[in-house]
Chains A and B, each alone.
Chain A
Amino acid sequence: MSDPAPQVLVLVETVPADPATGRSGTVRRPSLEQLTVARRLGTPAALVCGPADDDVVAVLGQHGAATVYVVDAPEVGGYLVGPKVDAVAAVVDRGDVGCVLVTSNPEGKEVGGRVAVRLGSGIVTDAVDVQAGDGGPVATQAVVAGQWLATSQVVRGVPVIAVRPNAAPVEPAPVQAVVEKVDVTFAPSSLGARVVSRTPRATTGRPELTAAPVVVAGGRGVGSAAGFAVVEALADALGGAVGASRAATDESWYGHQFQIGQTGKTVAPALYVAAGISGAIQHRAGMQSARTVVAVNKDAKAPIFALADLGVVGDLHTVLPQVVAEIARRRA
């Protein structure tokens, strides 16, 4: 790190353009949050694995990415994780990268873990805050099912930090982004796990769960798949995403990709509404960082009430539709 402001490389998550609908490519919100973090630590740079159309480059520049590295090769979509590791390593090999930031989700953490092994670097995952410090970035993690806060520093190699969604705000910081295409020679061992088929899921039209400012989640108390209609209605009234506890996804009342908790998604929205969720420790691990919590549960002893800023002891099937109606009435 001889340069006073080395590059802080953000591995960008994009939603590629869809030629069928004419929709252009977009950058996922957590990557923009990481550009905010990158500006605290050095000179932000972005790495896009896959096509980077003009819209994607423009958005990255608007959020401070001075350089946008692009590795657009079929391998990055055709194999799990490995090609992206090669791509990050290729950019770091050019020198002047002082830190690598990835999203703390399964893929981001795995890319980060392998990059750390390859570079001989320390890695911190699940950072809920990252600030500049003496001797390198200081990362804050929520550990032990989110009940403790730990601060850590990487002391070896180029720090690799996996940053949770909502760890930093998205802030405009426009610069003229320079695109640099990077040719990567993929290692044979990086092309071992081949994606042989991909079945896209129908989109819900709601905000993405881990990035949504409002999450309304249902649990065992919802009682059935049909029962989730009242959860969805409140989510839509608040412009939020729908989540579910493991009890509900195990019953197949709601899609597994919406599960919040230790074995599902971790969310940190401004508002979390827990409907019919008791609040077992495994669930709390996934939503403990929510800033405001509203809980509705029939059981007055449910542990979720200890976390709630507002708790209602009552039947969610009665209360939720009434709340939707109240909101509509006040807006009318």
Chain B
Amino acid sequence: MIDITSPDFWSDLGGVLLKGTLETLWMTSVALVFTILIGLPLGIVLVGTERGRFLEAPFGSRAFGTAVNRVLGFVVNLGRSVPFIVLMIALIPFTRFLVGSFVGTGPAIVPLTIVAIPFFARVVEIAVKEVDGGLFEAAESLGASRWLLVRRVILPQAAPSIVLGTATTITSIINFSAMVGVVGGGGLGNVALTYGLQRYSWVHIVAVIVILFAIVQLVQAGANGLARRVDHSSGRSRAHAREIDEAERVI
């Protein structure tokens, strides 16, 4: 049982929350970096290798493209259908192989990344599918390489959707990170687990909720702002352009 009237309680609380917050931010950031590094190309390949799309025949082989598409689609669906807590336990040998241990905040990043990659790959897939088919045709007609198509057409056009999807991805990584306390990972989830559950401190629970809420709010607001900055497709001044047109005609 805790004693909120004890002078030590409040000074402890601050330290615990700060440590938990930093751990959560650390786990989430590292997991996010790897998620984007792997999930972004994965998502693009996942769409591209579909029939009739820009990567349907990598190295000139249609069968290879279909095979890649099937395998990736299967892996992504598998990753998304296994509950995180099961995945985390199932990944223990892999985590140990990769970072030498499976206990603690650092190793917890491995399952967090593995669970976020398929999620993010689907985000990218949806964003790329939204790109107007005419743009692919135009790029083809210009004799652009696939690499150039990705850099100069797909990424700029899909950017707003991907940015918004990244915010959702971050939110789910934070969500999942609350569970890594089970395997000895730190973070705010662990604070809630050790102080809230085991010592019945409602103060800790409330504080964790408030902090998580604030982080998610900030992430979402930041993503909304960034998405607006990279999105120029809304034609915010089409009427303005018409006026210019008419003005030019008069001149």
* A and B: bona fide binding partners: no
Task: Give B contacts to A, CB under 8 Å.
Answer: none
Task: Give A contacts to B, CB under 8 Å.
Answer: none
